[in-house]
Amino acid sequence: MNRFTVLGTLVALALTGSALAFTPKNVECIAPADPGGGWDFTCRVIAARLLPELGIVPGPIKVTNMPGGGGGVGFAHAVTQRRGDENLLVAASTATTTRLAQGLYAEFTADDVRWLGALGADFGVIAVAQDSPITSLAELLERLKADPNGIVFGGGSAAGGWDHLKVLLLARAAGIPDLASIRYVSFSSGGSAMIELLGGRVQAFTGDVSEVVAQAEAGNIRVLAVLSPERIPALGEVPTARELGVDVIGANWRGFYAPPGISEEAYAFWVEALTQLGQSEAWAEVREQNGLAPFFMVGAEFEAFVKEQVQSIREISEELGLIQ
């Protein structure tokens, strides 16, 4: 019996002993984007792999990719079509709160779902193809200063979304005045944006660490900077933007929400399940392997954090002229 099996047994006993009057079955996790991006990672690795592997959730977890509207299709589906579905998880991140802050999910707000928890933070990166003539963040920013319209960035968020905001925050910190002229193309996921970068259809990629580790290790891309307080071991010697004189931190948490209308017993089960997962050695190993920083928050504390972040991003977006 390996240590993961032992841990899974202990977790199952802990959940049983907590007297939570809910047992999940036929669980589904919606990744509201195409395969290959951060939301897909959240469903496939955090939920579908680790929760069953540790015995926290019985049986396999189905993953459904539901791209569209920068996560808006999945959000609307959860609110309008899956109300009360206690066996549904939906992957979320700072990109989700960004769109909610900017009113991009139609009439929906952060109050329309149940916020379960976050398990790690994925820091932002700026990357180019390995054969790009741009070899450093300083060179990229100098080109933008000379011609803000001359470089096309690709990312997995909608225009004005989190991937776009990271570029604008970098440009603002570097003293580039004409932020509105910086070109950004939105794709349905970070994976789709990476394909466009490798195909030469965009000149730079804005995304998160988990979206670039494999391509960087394969030698296909050059990561110019990571938007974290300290260097990320999974990216080797890639410097932080702060080291390079641009004081920008871009942390993209990874977590889940549930549909509205679920019982308090089901809500308590999922909060406890994420707590057990977040404290496990298995998750610590996976988190480090994928370049995620520690970021653990569940339940009422996480819900309060989400609503505060929505308000903060709304204020930043107004300052940058992205919303009125």
DSSP per-residue letters across 199-261? TTSSSEEEEEHHHHHHHHHTTSEEEEEEESSS--GGGTTPPBTTTTT-----EEEEEEEE-TT
* Residue 283: C-alpha distances to residues 46, 152, 197, 286, 322 (Å): 8, 36, 30, 5, 36
At 86, the pLDDT band (50, 70, 90 cuts) reads: very high
Residue 316 in this model has a pLDDT that exceeds 90: no
Q: What's the mean pLDDT in 298-306?
A: 96
Weakest-pLDDT range from 56-60, 111-115, 140-144, 156-160 = 156-160
pTM attached to this predicted model: 0.77
The CA angle 186-253-95, to the nearest 5 degrees, is 25
- Render pLDDT for 54-68 as a digit per residue (tens, 0 to 9): 999 998 999 999 999
φ, ψ dihedrals at 317, nearest 5°? -65, -40
pLDDT of residue 128: 98
Q: What is the pLDDT of residue 47?
A: 97
**Residue 264 CB partners (closer than 8 Å, separation 6+):** none
When mean pLDDT is compared across 3-7, 29-33, 129-133, the lowest value belongs to 3-7
Q: How far out from the chain centre does Cα 174 lie?
A: 25
Per residue in 213-248, pLDDT (tens digit) is 999 999 999 999 999 988 998 898 999 999 999 999
pLDDT band at 177; cut points 50, 70, 90: confident
pLDDT-based confidence at 269, cuts 50/70/90?
very high
Sketch out the chain's domains with CATH numbers: 3-122+251-319 (3.40.190.150), 124-235 (3.40.190.10)
Tell me what pLDDT residue 46 has.
Answer: 96
Q: Is the pLDDT score of 6 beyond 60?
A: no
Burial of 4 (0-12, 13-18, 19+ CB in 10 A): middle
What residues contact 213, with CB distance under 8 A and at least 6 apart? 234, 235, 290, 291
